[in-house]
Structure 1
């Protein structure tokens, strides 16, 4: 634990780049004293595709946060997302001499043995995160130091990234005049910022819904036990709207945030929008119909997450006790309700908690990873510092809290002109193919 110091998180995403500056006070409490968010440039699905543009966007984000905080940033913890991040769980074993206590060197030896697995030489290890320990067959041990036994075992979650994308990220940060203090998996950081005390004794799925990707982390009793990346995000929903409605991406994003819903029955049944296409023609579409374009893509995202967990860990309903949705795309109306239907588990929207300072700015799902990077910088072994829960004033509870009402997007964006509403239409029965569904619903429109 680091006290009385500055920790900076740099969350580099497909649609935005966010810098969060945290000040760690004595006792481990964290105040957010600076924040800078700019539109992302030169990034696609977690990887750099244009070094110059990505570097410039990083520099702008850092400078914005520096102006707010009055602090000069020199080093940062950087988020890693995308399909180039790979994860495996490895088993390690260490023999203990009879009549001797288990020491830290024995623990380190077991972890090192778990790390000694053949990996692609093109991979660079980002995290080595110990799970629970086993001493002479006794499971569920958090810290074996000081115990007696002759056989120490540990499962270690190893996260590695492809060397090329990591080198490109590091170069962009260095070109912006910064030192990379460490990389952290995007979904891990989001979990550190949003997990509640009650969830430390459960298995919880954290789903960070970004623009280009959706990052998934399974936390088992507070430890990262599984991670994956789904190559679809909120930007794909926007692209569907732009394609079907024949409007620019910017306007499609605006329409999605203001009037869209992941479940058509939760859309405004009395609202019709007048849409002007790129060719200049004008059409009317109800909010109900708009949401029928959105739902298949959102369902596809949750379906892919479910398939990933079902195939790797087992049926979702038997593996986890709850789901936390975070990231900017989680704010779309009806998203928690759709996720609850697909996973058949309690679902809530996760926001950064247990922090002080600029809470009115960063206490939103889109800042979870940025705040989590700060917490990662002051924690150990990828765990939330205990002082954070103390600051939150949380007491362990027996179940995951019910999901709160999701919050719509910014209300001050320019919007299409509403016109007189028609009667709402019943939702069409979905078919197997996403494109066929959309074409069937909007045959007349297209």
Structure 2
């Protein structure tokens, strides 16, 4: 089954929009659009109306080429106002077998333990090390027998005000937001092979 997706990269010099069809893991580009960024400086929205017009132009060009009328997108934002911090979560495993529930619980514990400033919103929570009963670097703890599980995570966040203004600009362009991705993270994932992803 195929899925049509729209991705918008909002930069300080240009805005890129790509419409693609994804089927069985294969990505087929259907259309693209590029516009000069206006109302955006150093990755931050400085004029919502101008930024919205720039976004709308890039998306309209991509729609025209693809013939699609897609109305929602994943939006990539600048690293300029992003921060990251590390945190650790620890939980006991009452039934000795690690389930999805326990994995979610240890991730939530790591988030709870993090000192996220009030003016920031979390964009990504990236686990980079699971420990099961003091055994480090477990690739996937699901189904393992254990009495305790720990996780080390990297939390990526951005300023709430900047994110709110960006969302307003995108929605003013007639696009709903499916998700927000940090541009540096998206670029890293796109250029890494499977072995590099496993190595972190």
Q: What TM bracket, shorter-length normalisation?
A: over 0.9
Tell me if structure 1 keeps the 8 A contact 2:5–2:70: no
Looking at structure 1, the residues matched to 85 and 169 of structure 2 have their Cα atoms a distance apart, in angstroms, of 28
SS at the partner of 2:146? coil
- Runs of 4+ more than 2 Å apart: 196-201
Tell me if structure 2 keeps the 8 A contact 1:136–1:149: yes
Aligned equivalent of 2:169: 172
**How much does 1:41 deviate?**
1.0
| Greater share of residues in strand | 2
Aligned equivalent of 1:60: 57
Aligned equivalent of 1:182: 179
Looking at structure 2, the residues matched to 29 and 125 of structure 1 have their Cα atoms a distance apart, in angstroms, of 30
Highest relative contact order (Cα 8 Å, sep 6+), 1 or 2? 2
Tell me if structure 1 keeps the 8 A contact 2:8–2:18: yes
Over aligned residues, Cα RMSD in angstroms? 1.3
Question: TM-score by structure 2 length?
Answer: 0.95
Looking at structure 1, the residues matched to 48 and 122 of structure 2 have their Cα atoms a distance apart, in angstroms, of 23
Aligned equivalent of 1:91: 88
Aligned equivalent of 2:20: 22
Aligned equivalent of 1:405: none
**How much does 1:196 deviate?**
2.2
Looking at structure 1, the residues matched to 92 and 131 of structure 2 have their Cα atoms a distance apart, in angstroms, of 12
Aligned equivalent of 1:199: 196
Looking at structure 1, the residues matched to 52 and 154 of structure 2 have their Cα atoms a distance apart, in angstroms, of 31
Gaps of 5+ in 1: 202-220, 223-446
Aligned equivalent of 1:430: none
Gaps of 5+ in 2: none
Aligned equivalent of 1:257: none
Aligned equivalent of 1:121: 118
Structure 2 residue aligned with 1:6, among 4, 7, 32? Answer: 4
Looking at structure 2, the residues matched to 64 and 148 of structure 1 have their Cα atoms a distance apart, in angstroms, of 53
Tell me if structure 2 keeps the 8 A contact 1:16–1:40: yes
Question: TM-score by structure 1 length?
Answer: 0.43
Larger radius of gyration: 1
Looking at structure 2, the residues matched to 147 and 82 of structure 1 have their Cα atoms a distance apart, in angstroms, of 37
* Cα displacement string for residues 227-267 of structure 1 (whole angstroms, at most 9, x for unaligned residues): xxxxxxxxxxxxxxxxxxxxxxxxxxxxxxxxxxxxxxxxx
SS at the partner of 1:113? helix
SS at the partner of 1:64? helix
SS at the partner of 1:188? helix
1:110 aligned to 2:106? yes
Looking at structure 2, the residues matched to 140 and 130 of structure 1 have their Cα atoms a distance apart, in angstroms, of 11
